[in-house]
Structures are given as structure tokens and as C-alpha cells.
Chains A and B, each alone.
Chain A
Amino acid sequence: MIEFLTNWLEIPILGVVAAGGILILVHDRVKGIAGLTVQYGCVAWLLTGIVPLQVVGIKLFAGLLTALILFSTQRTRASLGGSSLAEFETGRSFRAIAYFLIMIASYGIFSSGWLSLPISNERLLLGAILLVGSGLLQVGIFQQPYSIGLGLITLISGFEILYTGLEPSLAMVALLAAVHVGLALVISYMELIVPPSRTNAGEAE
């Protein structure tokens, strides 16, 4: 099982690219959260080669908990009359081109060997760079806390892959898991504390 997972790391890498595409291009928040869940699954898969399965399990559990918190927030928000569509400030074609360019640039950074870190599996490094690139793009082009929050989660996921490869200690795993859950709670708090109608008005300013 582990051998299969570690031999086919191309699958989670493609999954990361697809999940990033969903987060950046799709308006429906629920689909975005589904994309985030896929992304967490891919991150967990990528990590199977460097940390024990129990640790991967903890990371996956924290990721699923994060997605669950965001999903339940979305449901609550919808029940308060909030829109289920994420509002993006740029057009879809612009976002698609930007995402494509970021993916190309991320691959370029990987293949140039500029980021030479002592990680056993190079594909892990590629996955991490793609996630960091996708996360930075989301943080850079979005203005809504919900979308920026997902971007930050993506960014931290990429960093986490790199860092777990370098320092696979249990304390780090636990603390970084707490960061993911904490971020989800903060996003939820901000989504719910400001009523949806006021949110939209505030963002239109």
C-alpha cells in the first residue's frame, strides 16, 4: 500500500494542480471547500513517503476538520441569507491565465534546482512549490477574507510539505495542524460575525 502511494506521487501532484484550479476559478464556495478537501488528501498522499502513516493520518484528520468547519460555516451563512458564491474581483479568464503562468513558473523553479533542499523525494518538492505558488496567487489576487483564508491554507500546506520533509517531529505536526484548524476558525468567525448583507456592502466600498 505504502509502496503504491510513494511510487505514484504524480497523482497527488496532478490533484494539487486541479484543486488549486477549483479554488481559484470556481465561484461556488461549497465546491471550493470540496477542492480544499481534495488538496488535503493530496498533501497527505505526498507525505506518505517521508513520515509514518499515523502522522499522515493526523495531518489528514486536521485537514478534514478544517474543511468541515468551513463547510458548516458556509451552511450557517447560507441560512442567514448569505450568498453561497465567492465574489472574485477579477474575471475568470484573467484568473485562469494567472494560475497557468504561476504553475509554469513553479515548475520552472523546481526544474532549475534553485530551491535545493535535502528532501528525499524530488516530486515532494514539486508538490510543495506548486502549492506555495497557488497559495500566493490566491492571497495576491483575492480581497475577500474567505478566499484569502483558503489561499493562506494552501500556502501553509505547501510550506508544511517542505518543512515536514526537513523536520518530521511530532510537536511540529501538532502545532501546524493547530494552525490549519485555527485559520478555519478565524475565517468562520469573520464570515459569521459580520452579517452577510453588511459584508457585501463593506466589500463593495
Chain B
Amino acid sequence: MNVPLLIILLSVLISLITAVNRTRPRASAWIGAGGLLLLGLFIWLAPLEEAFNLAGIALKFTNQFNILGRALVLDDTTRGFVGFIYAASAFLLIAGSNANTNRLFTPLGVFMCIILASALMMKPFVYAAILIEISAMVAVVMLVAPEYPARRTAMRLIFVFTLAMMAILTAGWMLDVVGVTGATPGTARWTTGLLAIGMAVMLAVPPFHYWLSAAADESNPFVVAAFLLLSQTIGLFFLLRFLDTYEWLRAQPEIFSAIRTAGMGMVWFSGIMSLGQRRLARIIMYGMIADLGILLMAVGLGSEGGFALALQMTAARVPGIVLWVASLTYLIRVVGDDLVDRLEGAAHRHKYGAIFMLIGMSASFGFPFSATFPSRWAMLEPMAGIDRFGILTIMFGWVFGGAILLRWFVLLWRSEKRDRSEGFVIGQWAFMIGCAALILLLGMFPQIVLPWVRQVGDGLQQILP
């Protein structure tokens, strides 16, 4: 039985079922999330390339599917990544069902998951760039709706992803045909530059984040955050695979310093840009950029520990961001917009929405007892030996995060607009409490994600031996 083909076919089936049920968004989301979660578990646990008996039937899961001269391979390198994308997508679908998304969110979310999984399984993986471009097109359909006519966002998004596609494909050609080694520094520099452009688009490194400001203004913040989260995650996985696969890339002395500098730049840029924002959705987007900046700083340590921390943070950041943005969509439903003026005093109308939003915010800023705190804390020591400015940047992230948290705490509870108080329904309560508990759990016991990090590490033998 061919596992990549099986995964794709089952995912398409789930997508079709959710499309049929799109008029019942909750049911559709639960079906989609349940299906993706089961597939994610299958991807993680399936015995690949080993014969086994199931109810007396001899079976063997093969891990390669050939199509048009290219291969989709689910091996040690990719199964951890693909499984994570499935699990994260399931989580996002559940959250999305409560976040005022359009009816196509769930079926297209599942479809996007298939595309991203195929991109991760594609060999040689530089050709996945076209699939990433197609995922941006799917995102456009999720972002643009009659109530969110985000046409500016859509075109910006497609334009930057088209640039990324061209850059990565050209780099792929240089790697495959021209041949890049440590002995060809000129070609290596060109290839690195092209790969950097492609990565920067996926990771939303400024200035390639410019579609985000329009998106935050015009679109449903949850959909924007969901796509950004998946795009950044895929970008990071690609970056780690590039580093693992190409020895000449790792051998360039300035590469890790450049990654670290980009990460630090993202933190400072986002912190400063957040200051003048009047829309909370924009602050969330900048928060996500800063969060990824810290993650890139971990990669930029260039050590085994740094890569492991980056992977740990990749998993740990999900519940915080989802809780933050999902709570914001509840508040928007109550007050009508995410502008400062509208959200002023919103806590009096939706107390728990505001509380959960602040919990999500503090988790995204990596405060103590939250999911990303242990990794940030663990970064301080190795960073001290490499780049003292890195320590200052991590501290700056906390200070800025604290200032933003305090500002919004005061603002949300400021004036009393007690015309009508609203609460959650049971499903929303369960989701919010679940998210908050997960944040706390990952903050207290960060080792929970270590088995996944180890599984991914099995496939990244060069950087995570």
C-alpha cells in the first residue's frame, strides 16, 4: 500500500465530505479536524517499508509515490513534518469553526493541508515551490469573502509567493544542473541569495511581510493568522532541510550569522512597528513575525541544541497564537471591529474573551509559564557565548511584549460600556480552556514535544545527529 498516495486520497475524501457539509460549519470542522488528526497519527506511527500482518492479511506500507518523473516520499525526514502539519491544521480547523470564517474555510483548509504535505514530501524538494504558490492561491479563496473583500491583500500575497516560487525554482536548477559546492563560491552565493528570498517570503521576513498589513485590515484575522502560521512553519521546515541537505550551505561561515541577524531584525522591527498600531489584528501579525524572529535566532545558533529549540518552539507557539487570534474574533463579533476605539472597555462586554486573549498574547510573547518560555529561556545561555545582542533582543521581546500586554489590559478594562454582556457556548469554553491548559502544560513540561523533535531529528541527521 502506497502511503503518500493513501494520505492524499483520504485527505481529498475528507475535503470533499467537509465541502458537502459546508452549510453546517461546526460539523464540517469537527469532521475535517478528526480526519486530519487521525491521518496525522497514521503518518507518525505507520510502519513504513516493513511487512506486517493486520487481521491475517499481509501488508506493507511503501513510502514513495512517483508522479510525472518526480517522487513524493514519506521518509524519516518528512513524516515528522507532515504529521505536524496535519495536527496543526486539525487544531486550526476546530478554532476556525468558532472564528467567523467563511463556509469554504474547512474544505479549503484540508485541501491546503494536502498541498503543503505534498510540498514537504516532494523530491527534490526545491520543486515544492510551485505547490507553495498554489497554497497561496488557496489562501486567497479563504481570505476573500463578500464580507471581507480583501482584493489588495490577495494580489500582494500572490505576487510575493510568485516571486518566492521563481527564486526557489531557479535555486533548484542551480543546485541540480549547475552544481553548487564549497569550491564554487560565486554560484553558492547566488543560490543562497535566491533561497533566502524564497524563505523570506514564506517566513514573512520584512520587507516580504508587506501583504500582512493589508491582510490584517481587510481580512478575517483568524484566517490570516492561520495561513501565516502554516506558511512560517513550512518555511522553517524547508530551511532546516536545506541546512541538513547541503553541506556547502552549512559550511558558509556567514550563513548562521545572517539567519540570526534576520531573526533579531524581525524582533526589533515588529516591536517598533507594533507601537503605533491601532488595530489589534496588526499587532498579532507583528507578534507572529517577532515570535518567528526568536525562532530564527535559535536556528542561527548553528548548533544541535539551537535546531532542537527551534523545533520545540515551532510546536509550542501554535496554541498561544490560536488562542490570541480566536479570542480576538470573539471580541470583534461583540464590538464590531478590532480598532483600539472599539475594543476599549470590551472586557466589560465579553470578560472571558478578553481574559483568554491576554493569555494567548502572553503565551505568544513567551512569558513565564507559557509554552514558548522554556525554549526562549534555554536560548539565553548559548546565545551569550555567540552574540550578546541576541540576549538583548530576547529581553527586548519580553519588555515590549509586557508593555503591549499592559496597554491592552488597561484598554480592555478601561471605560465601562455595560450595555450587554456576552459569554461562550459550551464548545467555545471547551476550546478556550483546552488551549489555555495546553499553553500552561507546555510551559511547565516542555519535554512533552521532545518525542516529536527526536522523530524529526531522525531525518535531519546532519544537523540533529
The residues of A with any CB-CB pair to B shorter than 8 Å are 139, 143-145, 148-149, 152, 155-156, 159, 163, 166-167, 169-172, 174-176, 178-179, 182-183, 185-186, 189-190, 193-195, 198-199, 202
Contact = CB atoms under 8 A, between A and B. Distances in A.
A98 B131 CA distance: 33
Contact of A193 (B133, B137, B145): B145
Contacts of A189: 140-141, 144
Given A148-B159, A166-B177, A186-B154, 18 more contacts: A145-B151, A167-B173, A169-B70, A171-B70, A172-B130, A176-B130, A179-B133, A179-B134, A182-B137, A186-B137, A186-B140, A186-B141, A189-B144, A193-B145, A194-B144, A194-B151, A195-B146, A198-B149
Contacts, number: 79
Contacts of B137: 182-183, 185-186
A202 B140 CA distance: 18
Interface of B: 67-70, 127, 130-131, 133-134, 137, 140-141, 144-146, 149, 151-152, 154-155, 158-159, 162, 165-166, 169-170, 173, 176-177
16 contacts: A143-B152, A145-B155, A149-B158, A159-B166, A163-B169, A166-B177, A171-B68, A174-B68, A175-B131, A179-B165, A182-B137, A186-B137, A189-B140, A189-B141, A190-B144, A193-B145
Nearest to A189: B141
A48 B69 CA distance: 21
Nearest to B169: A163
Contact of B127 (A171, A186, A199): A171
B134 A178 contact: yes
Contacts of B69: 169-171
B177 A167 contact: yes
A198 B170 CA distance: 40
Contacts of A144: 151
A190 B166 contact: no
A139 B158 CA distance: 11
Nearest to B67: A171
A189 B130 CA distance: 20
A149 B156 CA distance: 10
A194 B67 contact: no
A156 B134 CA distance: 13
B68 A170 contact: yes
Contact of A148 (B130, B155, B169, B173): B155
